[in-house]
Amino acid sequence: MTDTLRAAVEAGWIARNDFAFDPSAPKVRLHEPTFGPDEVMAALDCLMETRVTMGAKVLAFEAQFKSHHGAAHGTMVNSGSSANLLAVAAVANHETRDGLRPGDEVIVPALSWSTTVWPLIQLGLVPVVVDIEPRTLNIDPEAVERAIGPKTRGLMPVHVYGNPCRMDVLTEICRRRGLILIEDCCEALGASFRGTAVGRFGRVGTFSTYYSHHITTLEGGVCLTDDFDLAETMRILRAHGWVREVEDPKPWYDRHPDIDPRFLFVNLGYNLRPTELQGAIGQVQLPKLDGFVAFRRALAAWYRDALSPFAEFLSFQDETEGGFHSWMTFAVQVAETAPFRVGALRAHLEAGGVETRPIICGNVARQPGLAPHPHRVAGELRHSDRVMDGGFSIGCHQHVGPAARAHVAERFAAFFAERGLVR
Ligand SMILES: Cc1ncc(COP(=O)(O)O)c(C=O)c1O
């Protein structure tokens, strides 16, 4: 497109957006956009060419995303929730050998997102909810081991906020106990465990490129797998049960010579397709991922250091040993013994323009959406309850510069000073 249009987009962007910290009206948001004029131009290009539905740009993003992760197949969808739905639907599909079957149990961490768990129920599976480790906030492998029963066939861990789970222990449990592993990496782009990217340990790994995540396609998600047949099933289920987007449609055509091959529907699919705009934006965003993650890691280290004087009352998420955390956001927990309630601290931060939010959806077993459906709670969920009742998170992204982060630290310090809680 023309240089004039590009210049106009840049000028319009600058006129509308200023992410610099303003001390006279302090605001430290939970997230700010990771995109800018480059991505706007990429999206505009799709609109101007009128190529807006899934096509070459989505394919190019899938190729880029899978090679970034060293995976054989990548399937882009319209959200991380859709990635979870598609992964579970494909693994539980009748076409899938050694897959999950209705009534099978799948172990999930209590500290997860709604749409980590809902697709299991939607596909006739039974979630088994277990507790987390209090320091890493990730699923507790010992709780997993204890929860396994005669019907347990799967494990779906969440790498909370980009902190990798103990994948050596979890993959060993899966191998020994015959569990299918589906990794929910929707918060964990850029994270790895002992040098291997998350999402590469199980049968499928799912990712989200939602607006507030490490990189964005506005809404969006990706499923990664090395299993060709599973990837073909995902491509079919993503688009109406249609064979149109599979890599090798010929066997399907040969099996159904009486049906127009352009309109051949072979499975009970959905429409989870992304648009070309999302594929185009993703191609511009992915090369920026490592830089964003490096920024987030440095910021998390800074927060930990700056808030260390309050260690008697606050604790922070610990990076898993052997893990490379990508810090989607920064989690803070108030000690049970603290002489104040988490709500008071959050209110104080919010009043000073520091946005806060609960940690993921808290203990999912306490969310009303789960109650009417078959599920099992295995053991106590004490640590997940603590996170839900005493935890919150603050922004840990590329726009929290030196002045913004200093403001956050000052707000914490003022809270403790007002209560005479600093020595
Ligand atoms: C652990 C986890 N899984 C799945 C999702 C769903 O992703 P999306 O918001 O892209 O639908 C989220 C959302 O942030 C999440 O945190």
Q: DSSP letter string over 32-77? A: --S--HHHHHHHHHHHHHT--BSSHHHHHHHHHHHHHHT-SEEEEE
Q: Which domain holds residue 338?
A: 289-418
What's the pLDDT score for residue 2?
82
Output the CA 264–ligand 1 centroid distance in Å: 32
- Does 388 fall in a domain? yes
Over residues 146-169, the pLDDT tens digits come to: 999 999 999 999 999 999 999 999
Tokens of 210: 């939602």
**Is there an atom of ligand 1 within 6 Å of 140 CB?**
no
Q: Does position 40 have pLDDT exceeding 70, yes or no? A: yes
Over residues 183-204, the pLDDT tens digits come to: 999 999 999 999 999 999 999 9
Over residues 209-223, the pLDDT tens digits come to: 999 999 999 999 999
Output the CA 111–ligand 1 centroid distance in Å: 12
Tell which of 229, 252, 287 closes a domain.
Answer: 287
Output the CA 99–ligand 1 centroid distance in Å: 23
Of 82, 112, 115, 328, best ligand 1 pocket probe by most atoms within 8 Å of the beta carbon: 115
**Spatial distance between the Cα atoms of 105 and 128, rounded to a whole number of angstroms:** 6
Q: Does position 19 have pLDDT exceeding 90, yes or no? A: yes
What's the pLDDT score for residue 1?
57
Question: If you average pLDDT over residues 117-138, what whole number do you get?
Answer: 98
What's the pLDDT score for residue 32?
97
- Does 4 fall in a domain? no
Rounded to the nearest integer, the mean pLDDT of the chain is 97
Question: If you average pLDDT over residues 165-188, what whole number do you get?
Answer: 98
Question: If you average pLDDT over residues 234-241, what whole number do you get?
Answer: 98
Q: Which amino acid is at 7?
A: A
What's the pLDDT score for residue 263?
98
- pLDDT-derived band at 93 (thresholds 50, 70, 90) equals very high
Share of the chain above pLDDT 90, in %: 99
Tokens of 177: 């106990």
- Does 9 fall in a domain? no
Tell which of 260, 287, 314 closes a domain.
Answer: 287
Residues 379 and 324 in one domain: yes
- Does 29 fall in a domain? no
Over residues 273-286, the pLDDT tens digits come to: 999 999 999 999 99
Residues 410 and 305 in one domain: yes
Count of C-beta atoms within a 10 Å radius of residue 247: 9
Residues 183 and 100 in one domain: yes
Q: Does position 402 have pLDDT exceeding 80, yes or no? A: yes
- pLDDT-derived band at 44 (thresholds 50, 70, 90) equals very high
Residue 338: C-alpha distances to residues 35, 147, 164, 345, 420 (Å) = 40, 32, 29, 11, 13
**Spatial distance between the Cα atoms of 190 and 222, rounded to a whole number of angstroms:** 14
Question: If you average pLDDT over residues 64-77, what whole number do you get?
Answer: 98
Q: Does position 171 have pLDDT exceeding 80, yes or no? A: yes
- Does 368 fall in a domain? yes
**Is there an atom of ligand 1 within 6 Å of 206 CB?**
no
Q: Say which residue the tokens 């510069």 belong to.
A: 401
Residue 386: C-alpha distances to residues 208, 214, 285 (Å) = 26, 26, 36
Active site residues: 213
Tell which of 287, 309, 344 closes a domain.
Answer: 287
Residues 183 and 315 in one domain: no
What's the pLDDT score for residue 423?
66
The count of domains in the chain is 2
What's the pLDDT score for residue 422?
81
Residues 226 and 270 in one domain: yes
Residues 215 and 322 in one domain: no
Residues 280 and 301 in one domain: no
Residue 71: C-alpha distances to residues 123, 205, 223, 226, 231 (Å) = 26, 10, 10, 6, 11
**Spatial distance between the Cα atoms of 220 and 201, rounded to a whole number of angstroms:** 22
Share of the chain above pLDDT 70, in %: 100
Residues 364 and 223 in one domain: no
Q: Name, in order, each residue with C-beta under 8 angstroms of 118's C-beta and a sequence gap of 6 or more.
A: 81, 369
Residues 261 and 295 in one domain: no
**Spatial distance between the Cα atoms of 419 and 143, rounded to a whole number of angstroms:** 38
Over residues 312-341, the pLDDT tens digits come to: 999 999 999 999 999 999 999 999 999 999
Output the CA 83–ligand 1 centroid distance in Å: 9
H helix or E strand, kind and range, residue 86: helix 80-91
**Is there an atom of ligand 1 within 6 Å of 43 CB?**
no
**Spatial distance between the Cα atoms of 366 and 388, rounded to a whole number of angstroms:** 10
Q: Does position 368 have pLDDT exceeding 60, yes or no? A: yes
Residues 272 and 410 in one domain: no
Residues 250 and 298 in one domain: no
- Does 22 fall in a domain? no
Residue 256 belongs to domain with CATH number = 3.40.640.10
- Does 318 fall in a domain? yes
**Is there an atom of ligand 1 within 6 Å of 279 CB?**
no
Residues 303 and 272 in one domain: no
- Does 32 fall in a domain? no
